[in-house]
Structure 1
């Protein structure tokens, strides 16, 4: 079975490392093990771009939560706490955009 460009096995990696590295500088290269994708080699610029994009996501705490979202959370908690035994109320928290 012919390999598509950009995909190599782990045994290819040990035999053709120079060629695979050269290709990884041009485009991401998938390394497979037992016919399953296991690793991706990519150039540093692509890696840094991915890291920068992931930095946009942040972890927050209640203290850093915007007031509008905190109010929505409080309302949802109060609605949940006020439920009777007939079943859960339908409550949705919507984050401001």
Structure 2
């Protein structure tokens, strides 16, 4: 897949971006380079290759990243934070209705 200059300008317009001709041309080259790289990656045969949980495991299995323990490290200060609020209910901040 590759883009042409009119498509880049259309995308810029949809994104509300103002691009000069030079910027549009540069962006076109960059986007087409990305698409080319994606096409090369799609062409690689990955059948029989199992996914890795950590990319470094492909290089050195014994260096796989360790995940930290999921433990609480700070105490709950919700009540302290809500004391100065004008209105709270069930642990939530109450705000005036702005949309009817």
**TM over 0.5, shorter chain:** no
Question: What TM-score do the two structures reach when normalised by structure 2?
Answer: 0.28
TM-score by length of 1: 0.29
